[in-house]
Structure 1
Amino acid sequence: MPPFPSRSRACRAPRTAVAQAAVLVLCSAAAQAQNTTVPSPTAEATLAPVTVSSGAEQENPTAPVTGFVAQRALSATKTDTPLIETPQAISVVTRDQMEAQGVQTLRQVTAYTAGAVSNYFDSRVDSFAARGGTVSQYQDGLLRTYGTYNTSRPDPYTLERVEFLRGPTSVLYGQGSVGGVLNLTSKRPQADTLREVQVQLGNNARKQIAADLTGALDQDGQWLYRLVAVGRDSGTQVDHVDDNRVVFAPSLTWKPNADTSLTLQALHQKDQSGSLIGFFPWQGTQLPSQYGQIPRNTFISEPGWDAYDTSNNSWGYLFSHRLNSDWTVRQNLRRTVSEVDYRTIYTSFTANAATGRPARPVFNSDNRTLVRDAVWNLNTGRMLLIDTQLEGKLQAGSTAHTLLAGLDVQRNHTGQQAWRAVASSIDVYNPVYGNFTPPTAAQLVRQPSVVQKQLGFYAQDQIQWGRWTATLGLRHDSAQTDTEGRPAAAVDDKAWTKRAGVTYQMDGGWAPYVGYSESFQPLGGLDAYGTPYKPQRGEQWEAGVKWQPPGQGISAFAAVYTLREKNRKTTDPGNPLNSLQIGEVKVNGFEAEVQASLARQWDFTLAYAFTDAQISRSNAGDQGQAVAGVPRHTASAWLSHRFAAQGRGGWVVGAGVRYTGSQWTGTSAITTPAATLADAMVAYDAGDWRVAFNVVNLTDKVHITQCLARGDCFYGQARTYTLTSTYRF
């Protein structure tokens, strides 16, 4: 399979260390909880939805928020911290914003977020980049993905919010690139009874039903439950490719008293899909072709055989216990088992010396047919992650300290069975199927498994002195990678990473800040020539200003930054199945974003990002060249208006526009063009009912999201519309 830009890697620790840490923390906290008097139900009534208005109770950073504006987050510090005190640019996409924009995929969740770029409309993964680097995905503070094509894409309906922390973040999370962290917050049990059933219809024969049920199981509110379920039967914009899904996500919270909380989480997800991406050649997509542009719905694999079928099962817990008024211990754990059956046939990258065919996608001499490569992979992933934290609040003279000390251990195992062959040609303008003989299971060849382990220790101090807040952090990581049967590929990396920042809060909700942060990303493995990959290292300086005027329902920031990342991996122009580490990349940029919910009648977002990413050191002759696939300019705006008085009930209309600038592809032969897309919605709220009609890519613009120097281009999302009816009871 032609490689995409490298995705973030994780390293894992031994299971024994994880098990011992879990038992020690849970048992000690449970013993203390049994000796604590249970308070009245009134004292337990927390986690209710709040509004972002003056005088409201303090927002819970994992609970529902009314409107588009959140005031607090966890991902930037791993503590409950106001956004305005964080010396780093961070955005929060709330559940209300996701609902208004009718998001169906994770990449749509970030579509109106400054600097977040997703260049591939894909059925296999939701991939992101920012500030010239990849973005690591976390869920509830724990790594969500490791490796490539071995897990399911998340369903936005299961999420309460998404937090996007920009820039290097290794001081808290360990491995990661300079792009940042996208942290998904799962829907969790709530004390108030909230229930809804949703039915959705759309083009491409989309039919979906979903349910979200939460509340208390007992009168004292000690036991809270939540059940989120999704069932979908759908096609896609590409012929013969499905988008079917079943999700079952139960969770249970036990709160024996005000000091102790244990939430058990589980997820079962099965997806049935196929190949949305054909890896079509430049000609017929971005460049002219004798027979015109290849239609977006063209399917060049084989119906009935092509598949991207996934099974993802996970379980874990989120534990918190307040030892006393100053100290709290927390532990998050998740175990994930995923399996993927990936079968595809795509435009060939195989060279043929006899015919002069190059190792990139090209038409045959008739300018209609394409030679194809066939691949069958059975991929597996096993993840075990645990993060244990101790938080303390201390007063030292006129300064207040929020101390955080943590230990996280991770272990990951990936496996694969693979088959590959050259398939017969196909006419992309009039495809005829059936000239392909599927392989048998006996033809699959087991590949070496890869085990990665990580052990990280981190410490942080948030110091408040008057209007000043300083954030200091330090972390040490030990990471190992072992490839079965390849001792030369073994990697043992150790690294220190640092972070420092200061924020000053002024009158009127203004807060200028400056910060420094670092990243460390162990890559593991060997390139095609047997050379082990070095870890990527990044460092960033950032300065900006945040604005959250009290009681106004507005959150905004503007930031400038400069960063460097060493040992970057890029596609090898001499071998499309290999990646090289080009040396060093320097990125300078500016980002600005405004989110607002005004009187619950107007909701809007404005976002802009300028990214100047250049190769600053290289031995490949490309020093001074722009980094491929990074648009210099991106911008977006969304506005929705509720016509009813006091912002309750009635009609709601909304519209948005998204702009992605042109991108350097790594060659002067072709450029990825700029694109401007429009979205729209109309909805009607009537008491317990809500009916909404959402359209993505309103004008059905045919656009190219990415072209690569290796010879292929990718189509973006066609016009997609959904009619969603929700009943709350």
Structure 2
Amino acid sequence: MLRIVSVVSICILFSIISYAQTNITGQVKDINNKPLEKVTVKIINNSKVTLTDEQGVFSFNDLPAGKYTLQFTSTGFESFRKTVNSGSTHEITLLPSSEQLQTVEITGRKESGYKNTNSFIGSKTATALKDVPQSISYVTKEVMQDQGAVRMGDVVKNLSGVNQFTFYDDLTIRGFRINGGSTTQLMNGMRTFTGFWKQPMVNYLERVEVIKGPASALFGNASPGGAINRVTKKPLEEARKSLSFTMGSFNNNRALADFTGPLNDEKTILYRLNLGYENAESFRDLQFDKNLVIAPSVSFLPTEKTRINFDAVYNKSNSRLDRGQSVIGNDLYSTPTSLALSASNDYLNEETYTVMASLNHQFNSRLAFNLAYLRTGYSQDLLEHRSANGYAVDMDSVIVPNLVARQAFIRKSKQYSDNASAYLTYDAHTGKIEHKLMAGFDYTQATLPPGSAQQTANNYLLKTGASKAYNPKKSADYQTYQYTTPDGKVLTLPKPNVSSFDLTRKNNQLEDVSKYVFGNAANSATVPTFSSLYGVYVQDQIKLGNLQVLLGLRFDTYKDKANYKTDSQEVVSQHKVLPRIGLVYSLTPNINVYGIYTQGYNPQDAATQANPLSGGPFSPIESNLIEGGLKTEWFNSQLTANLSVYQIRQKGTLYTASAPEQPELMIQIGEERARGVELDVTGQITSNWNITLNYAYNDATITEADSKNQIYVGKQKPNAPKHQGNLWTKYIIPAGPAKGLGIGAGGNFVDSRNVSNNATQVIPGYAIFNGALFYKVNKVQLQLNFNNLTNKTYWVGGYDYIRLFPGAPRSWQATISYTF
């Protein structure tokens, strides 16, 4: 009997112990409320470890009752610990890590949504944006996708103080022009350029960011307004694939693909492949774009201390070059915004490639080495008919306002750039003071090699068969023809080499170029050039309590070779020391105040200096920035609101002299000054409500000029609006019968702008309203975007009233995407 009782007691005891075994479960998300897969969850002082599934869910089973400390770790996120009771369920939010192994971006951004936490553009190290003592604005891929953005012109409206100058890859930042044809743009923090004539597609970009003000102390010569950085998509550790197809107004068709994930079980080799194809027409007469983008990326992570990355982007483009709209006299509304001056046999065929390799090695917990190289190549094959920047004239040289004088170009050229960068970072402590030291060297060269050539047909035909600028005093030397005006008058006009474009008849036709008198143009397209930059720099990011100090110093050597590899080659060398001093003070955990002083330097373009028709040589461009502001975070760091106040001064800018008989003549302005205020708000208000908002006030004027150019003093700089802003917001219904249904709405406004220095030609301000509808079911999303809902007539920029760049009328596009 006693034995039976003992057996029963033991069974009861085991039953009680078994009953006391409990579970701990939960879900891990990022700050955008997106589930995080394959997060390592470990019980401290226990051998149990698990990974979250694709929904971010984790579970520990059969745990004895009691308290446990859980540790959550994932690459790209801050490690997090939480003490919990057994038998409980938890929702965990991981914050992005402000300290990552790589100092150049090697693995993909883990965040999703409109907010980005870290950047490398402000210090060349992984630094939280709120700790960078300079204004940095950005647009993430999620914003681009929601707005249906295709090109940079669609993206930049989301960046405070940035607006289009033309249809080209051509922008102003804080009133200072920057264009893709120069080597002062950045890709993944490395200097590069685009083809300038056509804005590239943005489907392969993780984000677009701009550091405001002179960035020369970091990257060498750059625009004083700021530097645009295109950050390409990098591989992710989890497998993910997506396909999307778009159709819309103006026979717009696109197909995009994005594949990423590991290539081996150990996840030491990761890949990403972005593909894009576009076949689209335009609201502009005769314009079209056919683009193919191939953008692979591979990350090799052999050890925790060494990471290697390879990126490439190839873009093949077939199109026509759009030089803008011309109007009759000073009447902006005298011609439709669809009007272009192209001939039906014009073409622009371009190929661009960038290849980048980078290495990061962590010697120990303090010392790291970074090496990167970027190669860019570009080629173009062009035939175009465009304006000669003026109207046709009669025999007395009086303009005929409905006839635009034209010229024709045949151009074949290639251009290359190389950028290499190597630097060390070292973390040190002196008492309570923390230091992040950096020392580095970079080298950049840009080449327009011999063999690039351009032929130009322009001016008026002489009776001898040659062509020459028209001289009314020698009118008898020129051929003539009869022209009938729209009101029936018959005029005798000097005969142009290339037929003038009649704005009233819109004579876009096939032109016989064999009849033109061509001459080799003495301009930048035919002068081989070589320019290089050697830079040595040091930087210290100092932290003491709530105070952070950034000290930077750079020494640059610039070298230009005009008439490169010819008997008349000329070499010009210049040197410059550039300081950068910034302060950040944390008033509260979510409010930082900052200030900065930095200088910029930019030698004049080598091709312009070498062009005998430009009027040079010219002195280099020098600039400086004083800026201060606030950087704040709200709603559990999901929303940022930043305010900046700045002043930029620049000396030595070149402008077109607007001399009819010398179209390539340039003038150099003594000083320009931009003063302004910028506000940027980005992120989430709730987990289903995203917003991006910006406003900029910018007073950019010419303050000094020599005695010959006093007329320009006090004028607002071309294409530099005083006021501009943008709002875009998206809300997704999280539950109920309408779960997955979303709406996006917003708009942007731009103040009136001068299109030339004399301020007599102005384009009006405008406000554009856009909207979108979204519906997601499982892995499929349907998206419908509406742009310019009120069908507003407006212009994004221009050079003058013969070269205006209108915005698109009301349009739509529909997208279906599948993620698997």
TM norm structure 1? 0.87
Deviation at 1:530, TM superposition (A): 4.5
Tell me what 1:294 maps to: 335
Given that 2:175 and 2:721 are in contact with CA atoms closer than 8 Å, whether structure 1 keeps it comes out as no
Q: Which amino acid aligns with 1:137?
A: Q
Given that 1:50 and 1:57 are in contact with CA atoms closer than 8 Å, whether structure 2 keeps it comes out as no
Tell me what 2:453 maps to: 417
Distance 1:96 1:329, change over 3 A: same
Aligned counterparts, 1:12-411, within 5 A: 46=75, 55-58=94-97, 63-120=109-166, 122=167, 125-135=168-178, 136-145=184-193, 149=197, 153-281=199-327, 283=329, 287=331, 293-303=334-344, 305-349=345-389, 355-357=395-397, 364=400, 368-411=402-445
Deviation at 1:711, TM superposition (A): 5.2
Tell me what 2:532 maps to: 453
Tell me what 1:520 maps to: 601
Moved more, 597-606 or 384-393: 597-606
For residues 225-281 of structure 1, what are the alpha-carbon distances to aligned partners after superposition, in whole Å with 9 as ceiling and x for unaligned?
111111111111112221111111112111101111111122221011113333514
Deviation >4 Å, runs of 4+: 40-45, 47-51, 59-62, 146-149, 350-354, 439-446, 485-489, 646-649
Deviation at 1:680, TM superposition (A): 1.1
Q: Indicate yes or no: 2:704 matched with 1:617.
A: yes
Distance 1:516 1:442, change over 3 A: same
Given that 2:297 and 2:309 are in contact with CA atoms closer than 8 Å, whether structure 1 keeps it comes out as yes
Distance 1:55 1:278, change over 3 A: closer
Given that 2:347 and 2:384 are in contact with CA atoms closer than 8 Å, whether structure 1 keeps it comes out as yes
Distance 1:439 1:377, change over 3 A: farther
Q: Indicate yes or no: 2:767 matched with 1:676.
A: yes
Tell me what 1:713 maps to: 804
Deviation at 1:592, TM superposition (A): 1.0
Distance 1:668 1:41, change over 3 A: same
What secondary structure, in the 3-state scheme, does the structure 1 residue paired with 2:109 have? Answer: coil
Tell me what 2:783 maps to: 692
Distance 1:349 1:442, change over 3 A: closer
Q: Which amino acid aligns with 1:266?
A: A
Tell me what 2:573 maps to: 492
Distance 1:668 1:391, change over 3 A: closer
Aligned counterparts, 1:579-594, within 5 A: 579-594=666-681
Tell me what 2:491 maps to: none
Aligned residues between the structures: 672
What secondary structure, in the 3-state scheme, does the structure 2 residue paired with 1:155 have? Answer: coil
Deviation at 1:198, TM superposition (A): 0.9
For residues 80-116 of structure 1, what are the alpha-carbon distances to aligned partners after superposition, in whole Å with 9 as ceiling and x for unaligned?
0011111111112111111111111112112122111
What secondary structure, in the 3-state scheme, does the structure 2 residue paired with 1:505 have? Answer: strand
> CA separation in 2, counterparts of 1:572 and 1:648?
60
Q: Which amino acid aligns with 1:46?
A: T
Given that 1:588 and 1:613 are in contact with CA atoms closer than 8 Å, whether structure 2 keeps it comes out as yes
User: What's the C-alpha RMSD, in Å, of the aligned pairs?
Assistant: 2.8
Tell me what 1:539 maps to: 624
> CA separation in 2, counterparts of 1:209 and 1:707?
31
> CA separation in 2, counterparts of 1:202 and 1:50?
45
What secondary structure, in the 3-state scheme, does the structure 1 residue paired with 2:301 have? Answer: strand
What secondary structure, in the 3-state scheme, does the structure 1 residue paired with 2:203 have? Answer: helix
For residues 643-692 of structure 1, what are the alpha-carbon distances to aligned partners after superposition, in whole Å with 9 as ceiling and x for unaligned?
12499961111111111101234235322211111111111111111111
> CA separation in 1, counterparts of 2:547 and 2:314?
45
Tell me what 1:654 maps to: 744
Q: Which amino acid aligns with 2:245?
A: V
Of 635, 642, 652 in structure 2, the residue corresponding to residue 567 of structure 1 is 652
Tell me what 2:816 maps to: 725
Tell me what 1:504 maps to: 585
What secondary structure, in the 3-state scheme, does the structure 2 residue paired with 1:256 have? Answer: coil
Distance 1:676 1:433, change over 3 A: closer
Q: Which amino acid aligns with 1:558?
A: L
Given that 1:280 and 1:714 are in contact with CA atoms closer than 8 Å, whether structure 2 keeps it comes out as no
Say which structure, 1 or 2, has more relative contact order (CA 8 Å, 6+ apart): 1
What secondary structure, in the 3-state scheme, does the structure 2 residue paired with 1:347 have? Answer: strand
TM norm structure 2? 0.77
What secondary structure, in the 3-state scheme, does the structure 2 residue paired with 1:111 have? Answer: helix
What secondary structure, in the 3-state scheme, does the structure 2 residue paired with 1:178 have? Answer: coil
Given that 1:45 and 1:221 are in contact with CA atoms closer than 8 Å, whether structure 2 keeps it comes out as no
Given that 2:456 and 2:518 are in contact with CA atoms closer than 8 Å, whether structure 1 keeps it comes out as no
> CA separation in 1, counterparts of 2:376 and 2:798?
34
Distance 1:64 1:236, change over 3 A: farther
> CA separation in 1, counterparts of 2:340 and 2:238?
48
For residues 696-728 of structure 1, what are the alpha-carbon distances to aligned partners after superposition, in whole Å with 9 as ceiling and x for unaligned?
222221112334458543312333321111101
For residues 136-156 of structure 1, what are the alpha-carbon distances to aligned partners after superposition, in whole Å with 9 as ceiling and x for unaligned?
42111111217854xx63321
> CA separation in 2, counterparts of 1:681 and 1:309?
33
Of 536, 544, 556 in structure 2, the residue corresponding to residue 465 of structure 1 is 544
What secondary structure, in the 3-state scheme, does the structure 2 residue paired with 1:295 have? Answer: coil
Distance 1:681 1:529, change over 3 A: closer
What secondary structure, in the 3-state scheme, does the structure 1 residue paired with 2:254 have? Answer: strand
Q: Indicate yes or no: 2:476 matched with 1:436.
A: no
> CA separation in 2, counterparts of 1:635 and 1:244?
31
For residues 509-547 of structure 1, what are the alpha-carbon distances to aligned partners after superposition, in whole Å with 9 as ceiling and x for unaligned?
111111101111112332625522322110011111111
Moved more, 610-619 or 621-630: 621-630
What secondary structure, in the 3-state scheme, does the structure 1 residue paired with 2:143 have? Answer: helix
Q: Decide which structure has the larger Cα Rg and report it.
A: 2
Structure 2 stretches lacking a partner, 5+ long? 1-48, 52-71, 81-91, 179-183, 459-497
Distance 1:429 1:489, change over 3 A: farther
Deviation at 1:695, TM superposition (A): 2.2
> CA separation in 2, counterparts of 1:278 and 1:200?
26
Distance 1:451 1:356, change over 3 A: farther
Moved more, 209-218 or 522-531: 522-531
Q: Indicate yes or no: 2:501 matched with 1:426.
A: yes
Moved more, 511-520 or 431-440: 431-440
What secondary structure, in the 3-state scheme, does the structure 2 residue paired with 1:219 have? Answer: coil
Q: Which amino acid aligns with 1:603?
A: N
> CA separation in 2, counterparts of 1:156 and 1:65?
19
Distance 1:47 1:727, change over 3 A: farther
Deviation at 1:118, TM superposition (A): 1.0
Identity value in percent: 23
For residues 310-331 of structure 1, what are the alpha-carbon distances to aligned partners after superposition, in whole Å with 9 as ceiling and x for unaligned?
1112322121111111011111
Tell me what 1:28 maps to: none
Distance 1:505 1:383, change over 3 A: same
Given that 2:191 and 2:419 are in contact with CA atoms closer than 8 Å, whether structure 1 keeps it comes out as yes
Given that 1:381 and 1:414 are in contact with CA atoms closer than 8 Å, whether structure 2 keeps it comes out as yes
Q: Which amino acid aligns with 2:273?
A: L
Moved more, 584-593 or 569-578: 569-578
